[in-house]
Amino acid sequence: MWDRVAEAALLAVHVLGGGVWVGVMVFSIFVLHPGAERYFERDTDFEDFIFTVVHGARWKVFSGIVAILASGVALSVWPGHAIVREPVWLAIFVAKLALFSVSAGAFAYVSWVLWPRRTFATPAELPAIKQLFWRVGVVMIVANAANVGLGIAAHVWRG
């Protein structure tokens, strides 16, 4: 019984973590940024606002990403998941790792490259940087959503 509880706990961390990551990205890109930007006359005021909102979030998101990765790897070797013996399962796992790498890499790029650029951008540079933020965010959303779909497919295939 305890092994089923442990598996359910790992699954909850994995699924909820991935769902939260996708949800936060969708909210940030398609609701928060465009909605909040309309309330500020100057770009610098909006930038001050958005920096305040996201301040300190980097390490929380990073911790969530680590939890998603660790729980996914743990689930992949959990008895009954047969990752090594089943080619379909292995292919799904490799695809999920590739998509996860795209998402995590995009997060690292945004966190440690684009945010510093945005922080020190001139008013002339800001529109291009914001557009790049949007594009990278959409890539993260698509990769994470595809990963959720593959997770569902893996569960259905496993039966």
Confidence of residue 158 (pLDDT cuts 50, 70, 90): low
Task: Domain of residue 109: give its range.
Answer: 2-158
Distance CA 68, CA 15 (A): 8
- Helix 57-76 vs helix 87-109: angle between axes, to the nearest 10 degrees? 170
Position 84 pLDDT exceeds 60: no
What total of structural domains would you count in the chain?
Answer: 1
Which pair of structure tokens corresponds to residue 103? 């998402």
pLDDT 10s digits, 111-143: 999 999 999 999 999 999 999 999 999 999 999
pTM for this prediction: 0.87
pLDDT 10s digits, 26-44: 999 999 999 999 999 988 8
Question: Residue 9: what pLDDT?
Answer: 93
Residues 100-106 have a mean pLDDT of 96
